[in-house]
Amino acid sequence: MQYRKFKPFGNISALSLGGGGLGQIWGETSREQVLETIEIALDQGINHLDVAPMYGHGEAESVVGEALRGKSTDGLYVTTKCQIGTPRGHKVYEKINASLTDSLKLLDIERVSLFLMHSQLIEDDYELFKYNQFREKNATTLSCYFNEVIPAFERLKQEGKIGDWGIGGIGQKEALLAALDHECRPAAVQCIVNPLNSAGAISYVSENFDPKIILQKCQHKDIPILAIRAVQAGALTSSMDRQPHSSGFDAEDFEDYVRAAPFRRLADQWGESPASLAHRYALSVSKVASVILGVKNTIELKECLQAERAERLSADQMATIQSLFAT
């Protein structure tokens, strides 16, 4: 396992174990499979676990807590999140602290290494492209972020409950760029990194969100980057092994799968699976500290571990992949 510089931790494994698969939101699995997946990840040198309350309604945090119980956590880093939204009545600290307290209880630890805002940033008068009726729950306004969220995060640091804090690199472009230019910048940003340059179903704030703009801003500002959505919710794998949600929420992910057909053909020509190539792509992007995996079982994890051991893609190979979806 390669380790890379990452300011909040010092060094981080090139792969992080994400909580989506552990929380059973990326297809059917079992707690037994998930526990074995965590054990293998730790044995193979992964030193960062990234979870959230939203992943299986606490299941990801709960199963990580079970997996770590009785084990030494020296050199292991745990990240969790809070969907802050824009609470009324200036009760941001209370909401964040309550969420964190619940997470720490499920994880059975006293402190998380990194705490992330899970809601998407918007300017104060901005209306969401979709689901605007859930604006207060799913989006955090810039004034709330600057005036209340940042002070709340800093207070949690002083109280010793978190090591540092960061944000997700998805939302309204203008709001995200303002946050990254602010004097109090996040210690890390989770940036979408995949050949499709797509956020898929979670891009409900902006109609034409461009993840690459946020990635490039973080690269330019030297803000530590954690790559997410390397396989874009399954669109960059051999097959979508889950059924579309009945609400139609994830329709964009299935549309991306159809759009990714040229990528699957290229992977076949190069003699590897699409998922492996997609992870090698994310691992080869400049200044990415770690790629967060959404695996749900040992088979998927082992494929990612093999991809991490392979050579990084050359500039020509990266250009070939990027040309598939150039507009």
Rounded Cα distance, 122 and 120, in Å: 7
Cα dihedral 172, 177, 180, 181, rounded to 10, equals: -140
In 3-state terms, what secondary structure has residue 223? coil
Of the chain, the percentage scoring pLDDT greater than 70 comes to 98
Residue of higher predicted confidence among 88 and 220? 220
List of residues 6+ apart from 243 with CB closer than 8 A: none
Assess whether pLDDT exceeds 90 at residue 326: no
In the chain, helix, strand, coil percent, each to 5? 45, 15, 40
Interatomic CA distance for residues 3 and 15, integer angstroms: 9
Domain hosting residue 166, numbered range:
3-323
Model pTM score? 0.95
Average confidence score pLDDT of the chain: 95
pLDDT of residue 147: 96
The model's pLDDT over 175-189, given as tens digits with 9 standing for 90+, comes to 999 999 999 999 999
The pLDDT, as a whole number, for residue 300 is: 95
Which CA distances in Å does 148 have to 93, 97, 153, 246, 280? 7, 13, 9, 36, 38
pLDDT of residue 26: 66
* Residue 177, domain CATH: 3.20.20.100
Greatest Cα pair distance in the chain: 57
User: In the predicted model, what is the mean pLDDT of residues 267-293?
Assistant: 98
Q: Poorest-confidence range of 17-21, 163-167, 300-304?
A: 17-21
Number of domains in the chain: 1
pLDDT at 22 over 90: no
What is the per-residue pLDDT across 28-73, written as a single tens digit (0 to 9) for each? 788 899 999 999 999 999 999 999 999 878 889 999 999 999 988 8
Burial 252-269 (b: 16+ CB within 10 A, else e): bbbebbebbeebbebbee
State the CB neighbour count (10 A cutoff) for residue 103: 24
Can you tell me the mean pLDDT for 195-215? Answer: 95
DSSP 316: H
